Structure 1
Amino acid sequence: MKRWAVGLFFLAPFVGEFLLGNQPIGKLGSIFLFAPMYGGGAVLIREVARRYGLDWTGIVLMALAYGLLEEGPIDQMLFNPAYVGLDSFDGMAVIPGLGISLTLLQGTVTLHTIWSICVPIALIESCAPREPWLRRGGLITVAAIFIVGSSLLGVMQAVGLHFVASAAEFIGSAVVILGLIALAFVLGRRTPRPADGRVPRPLVVGLTAFAMTSVYWLESIVFPNANEWVSAAWWFVLLGAATAIVLRWARRRTWTPRHTLALATGALLTYAWAGFSQARELDHPSFLGNTAFALVAVALSVFAWRRQPA
């Protein structure tokens, strides 16, 4: 069963960096640089969740903690305007009293929680046994790889950008991250009583996921000059609507693993088209490269669905 852990180890950075369009196909070899952080984090979250009986609520909360860890203490993007090529976070909805950008925080929460962690886990897990894939020794090895790889990336970022966050920023982010992990163990073990009612077909669930995640990306593409606070408010509206819909469906007795896979597939296909826009925004557009990544995403989705029982 280790092969499933290896698959998740490399799928997470593929989705998080290459399918998104952050990295061009010419730098595909750098997946080995990103895998210890992305893949190590995804495998750890999945294995811990299954070992300790946490449901998807626990996975989502730990994925949120991972996103804040990556863009906080590791990359320090949330604290360093120069990371995004700016002199300050002015014009990016700065949170009063904290000096960090709400715009970047919302992006971190969205991209890493949904795509870097939850989508890869859902895709691989739909093909594999639900029980833990690794023994204790394997889990310790992955944890060590994650810690060492993330630390090296953090040092590279600090040296390359000549920036180190303040002690208060490190401590504050650590408190929030640990709090989310603790909350994952509390809420992830609570099994709500299943509700009656029908769930739409997986196709409808998938299309809904694709539509809502696409709307998230289209907002910044269609309205690039929108007021930052209006965009921030719109994010909360969209998040609230999506959460309400998914929770309403997922708590019903007729919800199945096929519906979970449908959610992941819809979100994955959004990245398949958004990667073209993201690559162009980062000035390394490659139609052939992004097309290749999108085709891989489609192939993975087809493979996952073919392994699902009817």
Structure 2
Amino acid sequence: MRTLSLPARVAPAVGLCFLAPLIAEYLMGNMPITDVAALIPLTIMYGGGALLIREFVRRTGRGWPAMMVFGTAYGMIEEAFVTQTLWNESWYDVRILDYGYLPALGTALPWVLFMVGVHTVWSISVPIAIMETLAGPRRTTPWLGTAGFRVLAGVIAAFVLLVVGYAAIGGIHLAGPPQYAGAALVIAAIIAIGLRLRGGAPGLPGSAPSPWSMLAFALAAGAFFVLLYATDPTGLSPWLARALPVPPWLSVLLYLALFAVSGVLVSRWSRREGWSQAHRLALAAGAVLTYAWHSFPWRSIAPAGLPLDLTSNAVMTVAAIALLVVAALRVGRSAW
């Protein structure tokens, strides 16, 4: 077997570190492409988090269910302790928690569930799926050595502690001890679930749907998800709120139903004969294309005029489509 040089060995890891924030923030439309400086901390937070999860899962022989569960834990850590949006009643001057706010929890369940979906799917799972496709034969093998993995874990831990410590020193307490303690318990429970997921589930009879069917399913589920948040009248993207008013309690039920139905269906399909990397890429592609089209009605949270916002969205959309084409060719035409 040909020995790969160090740059070649770590290339997928470096690619994932940059791809994760580019999808999570820039393709989503949160950041314009001119905001290059923000890419540095975002690469540590999103890219480092995605790589750490991916490396741990592949090193321990776990699979995609564990990958997505750890992605949920990542999202809770980021939103509860790093950015603290779960407790911020006026994030970027937007009253993101007014819709469905529960005083006993100090947060709003519609926003929590929206963040769960955003991070589990787009921040973690999608960039990993795309980069593993591009990695070809190294799809399920570790991309970092033991020392590199430990350094990565240390950097991520230091980054989180630095941000949390800075907020504490500055007196930025957006929630009380019960809320932080509750969030920590939830995160611990999610991680415990992920640790229990080992090996593959038994196969099911029948053939898996085609990759094109998976693409259509991901587009439909993604559209339902982002459009549901657009009905939040006090959210970051309330462009559907007047035309389609949805009470907070119904929004919560719809989010939960979407997660449950999507999870059960994909779990069953993935255990049938014929399920392949093309199917996984198709699901990721549907999510990417959802972010691409939805970036246009979504407005950037960073300072950017409408022309720059739309130009940035167009550039990121073209780049995303080009990346998906390259990944699809990597899988091979016969797989589709």
- C-alpha contact 1:21 1:279 (8 A) present in aligned 2: yes
Distance 1:83 1:157 in 2: 15
SS at match of 2:55: helix
> Hey, what does 2:234 align to over in structure 1?
none
Determine if the alignment matches structure 1 residue 173 to structure 2 residue 156.
Answer: no
State the match for 1:28 in structure 2: 36
Q: Say if 2:14 is the partner of 1:6.
A: yes
Query: What whole-Å deviation, never above 9, does each CA across 1:214-258 have from its counterpart, x for those lacking one?
Result: 122123243454222222222122222222221221121221111
Contact 2:17 2:44 in 1 (8 A): yes
1:158–1:164: 8 Å Cα contact kept in structure 2?
A: no
Could you say what secondary structure the match of 1:191 adopts? coil
Q: Which amino acid aligns with 1:122?
A: A
TM-score scaled by structure 2? 0.85
- State the alpha-carbon separation in 1 of the partners of residues 38 and 299 from structure 2: 16
Bigger shift: residues 118-127 or 150-159: 150-159
Post-superposition shift, 1:133? 0.6
User: Is contact 2:130–2:284 with CA below 8 Å preserved after alignment?
Assistant: yes
Find the partner of 1:185 among 190, 195, 208.
195
Task: Name the counterpart of 1:50.
Answer: 58
Asked if 1:222 is matched to 2:226, the reply is no
**1:1-310 alignment to 2 at 5 Å?**
1-83=9-91, 85=93, 89-90=97-98, 92-95=99-102, 97-128=104-135, 129=138, 130-154=140-164, 162-187=172-197, 189-219=198-228, 220=230, 221-223=239-241, 225-279=245-299, 284=304, 285=306, 286-309=309-332, 310=334
Report the Cα distance in structure 1 between the residues aligned to 2:82 and 2:168, rounded to whole angstroms: 9
Structure-1 separation of matches of 2:92 and 2:256 = 23
2-structure distance, mates of 1:283, 1:277:
16
Paired residues of 1:58 and 1:184 also in contact (CA < 8 A): yes
Looking at structure 1, the residues matched to 169 and 24 of structure 2 have their Cα atoms a distance apart, in angstroms, of 23
* CA distance in structure 2 between the partners assigned to 1:193 and 1:273 by the alignment: 37
Give yes or no for contact 1:80–1:163 (8 Å, CA) kept in 2: no
SS at match of 1:131: coil
- SS of 1:29's equivalent in the other structure is coil
TM-score normalised to the size of structure 1? Answer: 0.92
For residues 11 and 317 of structure 2, what CA distance do their matches in structure 1 show? 23
CA 1:218–1:193: 2 relative to 1, 3 Å: same
Q: What is the percent sequence identity of the aligned residues? A: 34
State how far apart, in whole Å, the 2-side matches of 1:259 and 1:297 are.
18
Contact residue 30 and residue 300 of structure 2 kept, 8 A:
no
SS at structure 2 position matched to 1:78: coil
Residues 210 and 158 of structure 1: CA distance in aligned 2, closer, same or farther (over 3 Å): farther
Tell me if the contact between 2:30 and 2:301 (Cα under 8 Å) persists in the aligned partners.
no
Task: Provide the C-alpha distance between the structure 2 equivalents of 1:94 and 1:2, rounded to a whole number of angstroms.
Answer: 44
CA deviation string 1:180-216 (max 9, x = no partner): 11211212x0421101112121111111101110122
Can you give the 5+ residue segments of structure 2 that lack an aligned partner in the other structure? 1-8, 231-238
Q: How many residue pairs end up in the alignment? A: 308
Unaligned runs of 5+ in 1: none
CA contact 1:197–1:254 (8 Å) conserved in 2: no
Contact between 2:106 and 2:175, CA under 8 Å: does it hold in 1?
no
1:4–1:133 contact (8 Å) kept in structure 2: yes
Greater fraction of residues in helix: 1
Residues 81 and 196 of structure 1: CA distance in aligned 2, closer, same or farther (over 3 Å): same
Offset from partner CA, 1:131-158 (integer Å, 9 cap, x none): 1010111111211222233344445667
